[in-house]
Structure 1
Amino acid sequence: MSTGQEVSSRVLTVPNVISLLRLALVPVFAVLIVAGQDVWALVVLAVSGASDWLDGVLARRLHQVSKLGQMLDPAADRLFIFVTLLGLAWRDVVPLWLVVVVVVRDVMLACTVPVLARHGYGTLNVSLVGKAATFALLYAFPLLLLAEVPGVVGQVAHVVGWAFTWWGVGLYWLAGLQYVSQTRRIAATAG
C-alpha cells in the first residue's frame, strides 16, 4: 500500500488492534456458518468488512501506517476469504471449484515469497487491482449467504452476489499475475 507516509515499525497502533480483532472474528464466523447461524454470520462479515475499511482509513489519518499493519491487513483479508469460502462450500452455497480457484491463486503467490526474501524483499505492496478484488470478494460472500433467504431478497442477493464473485475472482487472478510479474522483475533486476 503506497500511502506517501512513513512506514513505522510500531506494533501497538489503533489500526493494528482493529486488524487483530478482525483476525479474532475469523473463528467466530467459522463456527457461526457451520452452525447455520446465518444472521450472526452476516453480522460478523459486515463488521469484518467495515473494520477492514476502518483500519486503512485510521492508519492514514492517524499517521499509523506500520510494517505489521501492512502484513496483518492482507493476511486477515486472505484468511477471511478462505474461511468464508470453505464455510460456504461446506454449506453448498458455493461450488468447490470456486474454493480451488481462489486457493490455487494464493498458493501461486506463496511461491513468490522465497524468491522475494532471497532478494531482500518482504511482501509486495497491495495493488489497486488487488484491493478491488478483495473488496468484490468480501462483498460477494455475504450476498451469497443472503441468497439463501427465500423470495425476492434472496433472488436479488444471488444475482448481485455472483456478479461480485465473478468480478472478484477475475480481479483476484489479475492481481496475482501482476504480483508474479513484479516478483519476476525484481528477481531479474537483482539477479
Structure 2
Amino acid sequence: MSSPNVEPEASDRILTIPNVLSGVRLLLIPLFAYLLLGPRADGLALIVLLASGATDWLDGKLARALDQSSRLGALLDPLVDRLSVVTTLVTFVIRGIIPWWVAALLIGRDLLLAGTMFVYKRRSMPPPDVIYLGKAATFVLMVALPVLLGSTGDTGVATVLAPIGNALLIWGTGLYVWTGALYTYKAFTVAKAVPPSADRAARNG
C-alpha cells in the first residue's frame, strides 16, 4: 500500500500570485482616490475600480486553483477589501455620488460585525457560516458602485445608468443592513447560550 502524497506546507508563503494581486489592489486604492478627487478623471477612476474588482475575484480563484493559500493572504485579502470599500464610499460621499448616510450604514454595519467576532473568539468558536443573502448584497453593492461612477457624466449613457445605479444601491444597502442584523442576532444568541472558554475551563477544573 503506497503512502499518501504529502502536500507541501504553503501556509507561510509570502510571494504568491494571489498575494501579489492583493498588493496590486492595495496600490490601486490611493490611485483611485486621487483620480476621483484630484483631477476628477472619472473614466480612469472607473477603470481602476473595475480592475480592482477583477483582481479581487481573480486572487481568490488562483489561491484555490494553484493551492497558494497563505496566512498572509488570509489577512491581506480581507484588509484590502475593507480599505477598498471604505475608500470608495468615502470618496463617493465627498464627490456627492452617494449620500453620507448610506456610507455610514455600510461602514457601521461592518464595524458592528467586526465587534461580534470577539463573541466567537472568546468561546473558541469559528466565525458563523456566511449567509448567502449577504453574498448577494455584497455583489449588488459591488455592481452598484461602478454603475454610479459611470453615471457622473453628462452623456446619454450616464442618464440611463443613474437610475439603475441608485436602484442597485438601495437594494444592496437594504440587504446588507438586513444580513448585518441577522449576523448580530446570531452572535447575541451564541453569547447567551455558550459561556466563554475560560468560564467553561474554570467550571470543569
- Using structure 2 for the length normalisation, give the TM-score: 0.78
- In structure 2, the CA distance between the partners of 1:188 and 1:19, relative to structure 1 (3 Å rule), is farther
Point out where structure 1 has 5 or more consecutive residues left out of the alignment. 1-6
Cα deviation, residue 49, structure 1: 0.8
Is 1:129 matched with 2:133?
Answer: yes
For residues 101 and 134 of structure 1, the distance between their equivalents in structure 2, rounded to whole angstroms, comes to: 14
Is 1:49 matched with 2:53?
Answer: yes
Cα deviation, residue 185, structure 1: 4.4
For residues 190 and 16 of structure 1, the distance between their equivalents in structure 2, rounded to whole angstroms, comes to: 36
Cα deviation, residue 29, structure 1: 1.1
Cα deviation, residue 121, structure 1: 4.5
Q: Indicate which of 25, 28, 31 corresponds to 1:28.
A: 31
Cα deviation, residue 100, structure 1: 1.3
Q: Which residue of 1 aligns with 2:182?
A: 178
Asked if structure 2 preserves the Cα contact closer than 8 Å seen for 1:33 and 1:41, the reply is: yes
Letter in 1 for 2:35: L
Q: Which residue of 2 aligns with 1:9?
A: 11
Asked if structure 2 preserves the Cα contact closer than 8 Å seen for 1:86 and 1:99, the reply is: yes
Q: How does 1:116-155 map to 2 (within 5 A)?
A: 116-121=120-125, 124=128, 126-155=130-159
Point out where structure 2 has 5 or more consecutive residues left out of the alignment. 1-8, 196-205
Asked if structure 2 preserves the Cα contact closer than 8 Å seen for 1:77 and 1:134, the reply is: no
Q: Indicate which of 105, 111, 125 corresponds to 1:107.
A: 111
> Which structure has the greater CA radius of gyration?
2
Q: Which residue of 1 aligns with 2:6?
A: none
Letter in 1 for 2:61: V
Cα deviation, residue 68, structure 1: 3.9
CA RMSD of aligned residues (A): 2.4
For residues 79 and 190 of structure 2, the distance between their equivalents in structure 1, rounded to whole angstroms, comes to: 22
- Using structure 1 for the length normalisation, give the TM-score: 0.83
Indicate the percent of aligned positions where both proteins have the same amino acid: 41
Letter in 2 for 1:10: D
For residues 68 and 182 of structure 1, the distance between their equivalents in structure 2, rounded to whole angstroms, comes to: 28
Letter in 1 for 2:20: V
Is 1:76 matched with 2:73?
Answer: no
Alpha-carbon deviations, 1:135-174, whole Å to 9, x = none? Answer: 2222211111111111320112112211221222122223
Is 1:89 matched with 2:93?
Answer: yes
Q: Which residue of 2 aligns with 1:3?
A: none
